[in-house]
Amino acid sequence: MMPLIVIGILVLGAIFILAGMYNSLVQLRVRADSAWSDIDVQLKRRHDLIPNLVETVKGYAAHEKGTFENIAKFRSQAMQATTPADKAQAEGQLTGALKSLFAVAENYPELKASEQFTGLQSSLNSIEDNIQNARRYYNAVVRDFNTRVQSFPLTSSRECSASTRGSSLKWKRLPTAKTWP
């Protein structure tokens, strides 16, 4: 009778340990999804600000049509990107186009003195800082998740799956945002 009690306690202990490991992975996955959502929100704020910035610069530098068209094209691509890799590439192109817009602005002292332009530029800088912070947090959560997935004893059951929200959740490495500009 005593050996059965000991075996029962060991089995219960193993079940609790496995449940704890599973729950920690689910928690990290939810945190990663939430962190990605934070990045997405900041990118949308950035996308919403860009047309105002372009319109302000257009008033002073109407002949810079190519720059404005590039910004519109890259903004559209960035808004349509769905995967982290696609977003990283599109946002990199958009960042390059914005740099050229600010280079154009350097040639117009009256534009640089405009309160509207400086306010929009300040807002964009603030959003860029928020994006950078959100990316750092996302990368930290993804690093923790990927480390947990690759740690023993999960390495032996890396392809474990569980039913959540009606779909199969596979434990696989998540992409980081480290390649972003």
Alpha-carbon span 91 to 74, nearest angstrom? 8
Q: Is residue 179 part of a domain?
A: no
Domain count along the chain:
1
Q: Is residue 106 part of a domain?
A: yes
Q: What is the pLDDT of residue 106?
A: 86
Q: Is residue 40 part of a domain?
A: yes
Q: What is the pLDDT of residue 163?
A: 33
Alpha-carbon span 85 to 82, nearest angstrom? 8
CB 121 within 8 Å of CB 53: yes
Instruction: Give tens-digit pLDDT for 21-48.
Output: 888 888 988 998 899 899 999 999 999 9
Q: Is residue 181 part of a domain?
A: no
Supply the Cα-derived Rg of the chain in whole angstroms. Answer: 24
Q: What is the pLDDT of residue 175?
A: 62
CB 162 within 8 Å of CB 22: yes
Q: What is the pLDDT of residue 154?
A: 61
Q: What is the pLDDT of residue 123?
A: 94
Q: What is the pLDDT of residue 134?
A: 92
CB 116 within 8 Å of CB 56: yes
Tens of each residue's pLDDT in the chain, 181 residues:
788 899 999 999 989 888 888 888 889 889 988 998 999 999 999 999 999 998 888 888 877 888 888 899 999 999 999 888 888 899 999 999 999 988 888 888 888 888 899 999 999 999 999 999 999 999 899 888 888 877 766 655 544 433 333 333 445 556 665 545 4
Range of the domain at 99: 2-170
Which residue blocks in the chain are alpha helix, DSSP H?
2-60, 65-80, 84-106, 109-112, 115-150
Q: What is the pLDDT of residue 166?
A: 36
Q: Is residue 118 part of a domain?
A: yes
Alpha-carbon span 67 to 99, nearest angstrom? 10
Q: What is the pLDDT of residue 177?
A: 58
Q: Is residue 162 part of a domain?
A: yes
Q: What is the pLDDT of residue 84?
A: 82
Give me the helix-helix angle, 115-150 and 2-60, nearest 10°: 160
- Residue at 103: amino acid letter: A
Q: Is residue 83 part of a domain?
A: yes
Q: Distances in Å between the alpha carbon of 104 and those of 36, 56, 74, 101, 179?
A: 33, 12, 17, 5, 27
The SS3 call for residue 157 is helix
- Bridge partner list, 170: 161
CB 132 within 8 Å of CB 61: no
Q: Is residue 89 part of a domain?
A: yes
CATH number of the domain that residue 21 is part of: 1.20.1440.20
